[in-house]
Chains A and B, each alone.
Chain A
Amino acid sequence: DTGVSQDPRHKITKRGQNVTFRCDPISEHNRLYWYRQTLGQGPEFLTYFQNEAQLEKSRLLSDRFSAERPKGSFSTLEIQRTEQGDSAMYLCASSPSYRGQGGFPYEQYFGPGTRLTVT
């Protein structure tokens, strides 16, 4: 396995359009996280899944945002009616639930991110 992958790497969209990002975690990992990172800031938590169950959503995740992980493998993050304030890097990370599931359980393994620019 080559690590966490995200697609696309860059997305430019016009205000009001919908966008969808995809994340493929490390295959052995059953936990998947989404973060948002704006310029000069650290990543901020958005939501996370254990298998297909979405266990927590941040207050940052307005009703225009929705995330899914339908079969407990890849995940999608959709933003509807994008606004300029949505411009950011969207990071995905995965982690194992226990040692031996591919890594250290408290560590999250990050993908390269999707950079969204809303014009």
Chain B
Amino acid sequence: AQTVTQSQPEMSVQEAETVTLSCTYDTSESDYYLFWYKQPPSRQMILVIRQEAYKQQNATENRFSVNFQKAAKSFSLKISDSQLGDAAMYFCAYPRIYDKIIFGKGTRLHILP
């Protein structure tokens, strides 16, 4: 069974600085996807970025990028130029193909003005 582990329950970063959220996962599959979801306070969860395991290139979406280390089963999220609107819970997630998503416990990110 797949598992997703986020070891940082909370993090804080100064506005305009860079922060990295960590995630490790376990799977026996060779081809899969990994996601980072963002859940702002009292708002719905949205997908921030996705990574396909067979692609060696790390995914990037504007200020968000990942460091995907397949052999180490590590999938960290880097947020550059942090903004107040980035404050949220961030979930690392493993989507089982045409099936449920397995989520980590999340990291609450605080942005300090």
Chain A interface residues toward B at CB < 8 A: 3-4, 31, 33, 40-45, 48, 56, 91, 93, 97, 104-108, 110-113
B100 touches A48 (CB 8 A): yes
Number of interface residues of B (CB under 8 A): 24
Residues of A within 8 Å of B106, CB to CB, are 40-42
Min CB–CB distance B64 → chain A (angstroms):
15
Q: Does B110 contact A (CB under 8 A)?
A: no
Min CB–CB distance B56 → chain A (angstroms):
19
Q: Does B54 contact A (CB under 8 A)?
A: no
What are 15 sample pairs from A and B whose C-beta atoms fall under 8 A apart?
A40-B9, A40-B106, A42-B4, A43-B45, A45-B100, A48-B100, A91-B45, A104-B50, A107-B35, A107-B47, A108-B95, A110-B37, A110-B44, A112-B44, A113-B44
Residues of B within 8 Å of A111, CB to CB, are 44
For the complex, give the distance between the alpha carbons of A22 and B49 in Å: 28
Interface of B is mostly: strand
B105 touches A40 (CB 8 A): yes
Q: A40-B105, A56-B100, A113-B44 are in contact. List 8 more A-B contacts (CB 8 A).
A: A43-B103, A44-B103, A45-B101, A97-B98, A105-B98, A106-B95, A108-B95, A111-B44
Q: Does B97 contact A (CB under 8 A)?
A: yes
Residues of B92-113 contacting chain A, CB below 8 A:
93, 95, 97-106
